[in-house]
A = this chain, B = another copy of it.
Amino acid sequence: MNVVLIYSGGLDSTVLLYHLRNEGHEVRTLTVDYGQRHVREIESAGRIAERLGCEHRLADLRSITSLLGGSSLTSTEVQVPDGHYAEETMKATVVPNRNMIMLSVAAGWAIASKCDAVAFAAHSGDHAIYPDCRSEFADALAAAIRLADWHEVTLIRPFVALTKAEIVKKGAALGVQFADTWSCYKGGALHCGRCGTCIERREAFQLAGVDDPTAYAPTAPGLDELILNNWRLQP
């Protein structure tokens, strides 16, 4: 198949990129700049796609950031909370309708370039605080994407039943260079090691029994401390 992959340069979508290519698909990658402060992930995306010889395009949607209000992902005036995703405070990281916006642009590119599918790396651990990570949302949007053109495009989520730890295992088997991927929401020089997405990343390596090559900031709490503070490791 010819596939347009929503590609953030993060761990999940990088493993999905390797996975799709390993399955024999032709993949082109789309990174959306929605004004995220963690611009590092955009650089990671470009670098990894280039190394793999995949077409990589950037959709600059920064003009709509102000319409979508003050998420901590896009505004330096709102702090990225520390702690586990499960905590109420992580709601500050919601960007309204982000997934539909990214998927609609990807579907437009897929239609224009006669691709068969749009892929994104939703997984089973995507969180109750992100309403547009729900399966029923993706199912409804998949139906709309199928109807958006006479040329039918399928929305695929190959990792929807996997945990993040299982994605790490799969990535290790595929030879993914994890150190090149970027997760941290804060967008510093190193992964902070304490925001929701950093904790999830660290947990996933730990649970997968895969060595975590990520360079975390010196101020990141240790894994023992995370557990003690109820920043829990999920099964």
Q: Given the known inter-chain contacts A63-B60, A97-B107, A105-B101, please indicate yes or no for A131 contacting B147, CB distance below 8 A.
A: yes
9-residue interface stretch from A136-144, A182-190, A199-207, A226-234: A136-144
Q: In chain A, residues 83-132, which have Cβ atoms closer than 8 Å to a Cβ of chain B?
A: 95-101, 103-105, 107-109, 111-113, 131-132
A59 contacts chain B at the CB level, 8 A cutoff:
yes
Chain B residues near A137 (CB, 8 Å)? 144, 147-148
CA distance A69 to B111 in the complex (A): 9
Copies of this chain held together in the complex? 2
With A68-B112, A69-B112, A112-B68 known to touch, is A100 a contact of B145 (CB < 8 Å)?
A: yes
Q: Complex Cα distance A113/B98, Å?
A: 15
Tell yes or no: A21 within 8 A of B by CB. no
**A100 CA / B96 CA spacing, docked (Å):** 16
| Chain B CB within 10 A, most for which of A57, A68, A141 | A141
Closest-by-CB residue of B relative to A57 is B67
Looking at the assembled complex, report how far the CB atom of A33 sits from the nearest CB atom of chain B, in whole angstroms: 8
Q: How many residues of A contact B (CB 8 A)?
A: 42
Give the chain B neighbours of A58 by CB distance below 8 A: 63
* Highest count of chain B CB atoms <10 Å: which of A96, A131, A132, A137: A96
Contacts of A144 in B (CB 8 A): 100, 137, 140-141, 143-144
Q: A174 to chain B: which residues have CB within 8 Å?
A: none
Report whether B67 and A148 are in contact in the complex, using a CB–CB cutoff of 8 Å: no
Residue from B59, B103, B136 within 8 A of A147 (CB atoms) = B136
User: Using Cβ atoms and an 8 Å threshold, which residues of chain B touch A64?
Assistant: 59-61, 105, 108-109
Known: A59-B63, A148-B131. A108 touches B104 (CB 8 A): no
Are B67 and A96 closer than 8 Å at their CB atoms?
no
Question: Can you list 10 contacts pairing A with B, beta carbon distance less than 8 Å?
Answer: A57-B67, A58-B63, A59-B67, A64-B105, A64-B108, A95-B108, A96-B112, A100-B108, A132-B147, A137-B147
Alpha-carbon separation in the docked complex, A97 to B59 (Å) = 15
Instruction: Beyond A58-B63, A67-B109, list 7 extra A-B contacts (CB 8 Å).
Output: A30-B67, A68-B112, A95-B108, A97-B105, A98-B108, A101-B104, A132-B148
